[in-house]
Structure 1
Amino acid sequence: MSKSVKRVRAALGAADLPDTIQEMPDSTRTAVDAAAACGCTVAQIVKSMIFATEDGAFVLFLTAGDNQVDPAKAAKIIGAPLSRAEPNALRSYTGFAIGGVAPIGHLNPVTCVMDPDLMQHDTVWAAAGTPRHVFSIAPDVLQRITGARVESFTA
């Protein structure tokens, strides 16, 4: 098992949550692929979209799988210009590679903002550290353990 998945498992345990991590036979890199693998709607997939601020901080936007981040709205919420995170810097800071970024288990703290559309579901599915590992969780619990602000930032 990868170090990334172990960190997600440890974060679930630290929050006194059940280990719902599953390894899928195929990639869950895209929201459509993840929904097919999990047997849920695309809207129930949590996309972890990471942006960088000018000062090198990272901001994680937990986005419903059928939504897209609106960069202008996202920057307004943060109060600073945002750019796409550089893959190597992202991996060094969070411990996750693009395609498997989990909302929990990061090596360093990140500011987190959550799409209110995710709150419409009983269960959502998020990456668990690799492009083939996912976990299920209630969106209100995900919001609580990530410390995410729930604000609209989608197009």
Structure 2
Amino acid sequence: MSNTTDAFTARLRELGAHGEVVEFEVELPTAAAAAEELGCEVGAIANSLVFTADGEPLLVIASGAHRVDTRGLERSLGIRKIRRASPEFVVEATGQPVGGVGPVGHPQLIRTVVDRGLASHPTVWAGAGAKHAMFPTNFDELLRITGGSPADVGRS
């Protein structure tokens, strides 16, 4: 394992998460690529997407089958403006690269919402802090380890 995935694995253990980090030979830049590599539905990929919400980081853990509806989230979360974060903002907020952001392991707590669409999959795969690593989990565990709130985050 790399230093990045070692640190991520350690954080998962601290949180009592059950899944083991899996490292791949190739980067998995999209939900479709990850699903193909893992042999699962694209909807079972838990994309950790960082946005700016009124200037603060917002982590949206979205099903790979959904596009995030920022206007809908603005209304449901009481936020004036949600925008996709720049790669620099993502690294600053999470300490992890775009395409490899995990749901945990960030330098500080980030407000998090978890897509209810992930609940229909017994196992979901989330990023593990590097572009070539993921770990298996489930909807309830994602809510617990992130302190996130369940939300309808998007549309298919």
User: Equivalent residues in 2 for 1:1-155 (5 A)?
Assistant: 1-54=1-54, 56-80=55-79, 81-155=81-155
Does the CA contact (< 8 Å) of 1:13 and 1:19 recur in 2?
A: no
| d(CA) in 2 for partners of 1:129, 1:37 | 18
- What is the Cα deviation at residue 11 of structure 1? 1.7
Does the CA contact (< 8 Å) of 2:124 and 2:138 recur in 1?
A: yes
Choose 57-66 or 85-94, whichever is displaced more. Answer: 85-94
Identity of aligned residues (%): 32
- 1:122-149 C-alpha deviation (Å, 9 max, x unpaired): 1100110111100001221111111111
Q: SS where residue 67 of structure 2 aligns?
A: coil
Name structure 2 gaps, 5 residues minimum: none
Runs of 4+ in 1 over 4 A off after TM superposition: none
TM-score, scaled relative to structure 2: 0.92
- 1:60-106 C-alpha deviation (Å, 9 max, x unpaired): 11111111101101212332211111211220221011100100111
| d(CA) in 2 for partners of 1:76, 1:18 | 34
- What is the Cα deviation at residue 2 of structure 1? 4.2
| d(CA) in 1 for partners of 2:76, 2:97 | 25
| d(CA) in 2 for partners of 1:121, 1:92 | 31
User: Counterpart of 1:46 in structure 2: which amino acid?
Assistant: A
User: How many residues are treated as equivalent by the alignment?
Assistant: 154
TM-score, scaled relative to structure 1: 0.92
- 1:1-22 C-alpha deviation (Å, 9 max, x unpaired): 4443233212211022335101
- 1:26-80 C-alpha deviation (Å, 9 max, x unpaired): 22110000001112110100011110023x3100111111111011012123322
User: Counterpart of 1:62 in structure 2: which amino acid?
Assistant: I
Name structure 1 gaps, 5 residues minimum: none
Does the CA contact (< 8 Å) of 1:51 and 1:83 recur in 2?
A: yes
User: Counterpart of 1:94 in structure 2: which amino acid?
Assistant: T
